[in-house]
Amino acid sequence: MVEPGVPPPAAAVAVALALGVGIGLIGYALGRFLSPSREFPRKRRRYECGNPPAGRARGILVVQYYPYLIVFLTVEPVLIYVALALLAGPWALPTAALMVGALLPPLIFALRTARRLELWSAG
């Protein structure tokens, strides 16, 4: 039971979600408002690290990791909000223990692999 005058735990998750969405919308609106809206030929030309473009383009930029980036950027915030929601209730301690337990095997594997790689490089 929630004490009088104390907001329910789900309110913290709702506030965090509202803040995240609100800050994203503010950033989008500022970008739309501050960026020039007129089209210039210079905007469509390619850009080579500060140097004037010379010759024709050399090739297509391979974006092989782009799908992984999109998956990470869409799934990670959702998982953060789910974790916050799970840690907001009376079951917070078992949930936190389960999360730490789920992170231990990959951590142990990474440390063992790093040690093995270090032995190979020392040669």
How far apart CA 12 and CA 2 sit, in angstroms, is 14
Residue 117 counted as domain residue: no
The answer to whether 80 and 88 are in contact (CB under 8 A) is no
Q: Number of helices and strands (H, E) in the chain?
A: 4, 0
Top pLDDT among 46 and 81 is at: 81
Of 25-29, 78-82, 118-122, minimum mean pLDDT range: 118-122
Residue 77 counted as domain residue: yes
Residue 97 counted as domain residue: no
Residue 57 counted as domain residue: no
Total domain count, the chain: 1
Residue 100 counted as domain residue: no
Residue 45 counted as domain residue: yes
How far apart CA 96 and CA 89 sit, in angstroms, is 11
Q: How far is CA 25 from CA 1, 31, 81, 84, in A?
A: 35, 10, 18, 22
Q: What residue type is assigned to position 50 of the chain? A: G
Taking only the tens place, the pLDDT of each residue in 72-89 is 787 788 778 878 877 787
123 pLDDT more than 60: no
Top pLDDT among 48 and 99 is at: 99
Residue 29 counted as domain residue: yes
17 pLDDT more than 80: yes
Note down the domain range covering 76.
Answer: 7-49+64-92
